[in-house]
Amino acid sequence: MRNALYVLSVFLALIIGQNALAKKTQPISPTQAIHAVGQKATVCGKAASVHFAARSRGQPTFINLGAPYPHEVFTILIWGDERPAFKPAPETWQGKTICVNGLVKLYRGTPEIIAHSPSQIRGPKSPSP
């Protein structure tokens, strides 16, 4: 009986693990990110504007997807102390399609992901003509 419970437990763990892998989330668009606030997601879109605020507190870099500031749909934020790890510099992403993976938060009504590491960014890819 004990062996049967053990085998059943292992079997259920494998099924649950397989289902978790099968449910790997598909990338979402910047406009869909508003529905993913509070969840981990991969957001992909064209970098409509990129701004390094070197004189602002924390020296943030803002990569706006969907539309340029001040009408951005989604923002990727990179803080200044983490910026040197991103090569090439985020300004080179302007006009290119990129994806970011992380926790979607809401800041002043706009969804964003804070990128702490280059491993969170996929791309950039040149836009299609």
- Burial (CB < 10 A; 0-12, 13-18, 19+), residue 59, is middle
pLDDT, residue 127, reads 55
Average pLDDT over residues 67-75: 97
| Positive/negative CA dihedral, 7, 10, 16, 20 | negative
In percent, how much of the chain has pLDDT > 90?
Answer: 75
Model confidence at 45: pLDDT above 90: yes
Q: What are the tokens at 5?
A: 């419970």
At 122 the three-state DSSP class reads strand
CB atoms closer than 10 angstroms to residue 110: 19
pLDDT, residue 13, reads 46
Average pLDDT over residues 72-88: 97
Task: Name the architecture of domain 26-125.
Answer: Beta Barrel (2.40)
pLDDT, residue 126, reads 57
Model confidence at 6: pLDDT above 90: no
Model confidence at 66: pLDDT above 50: yes
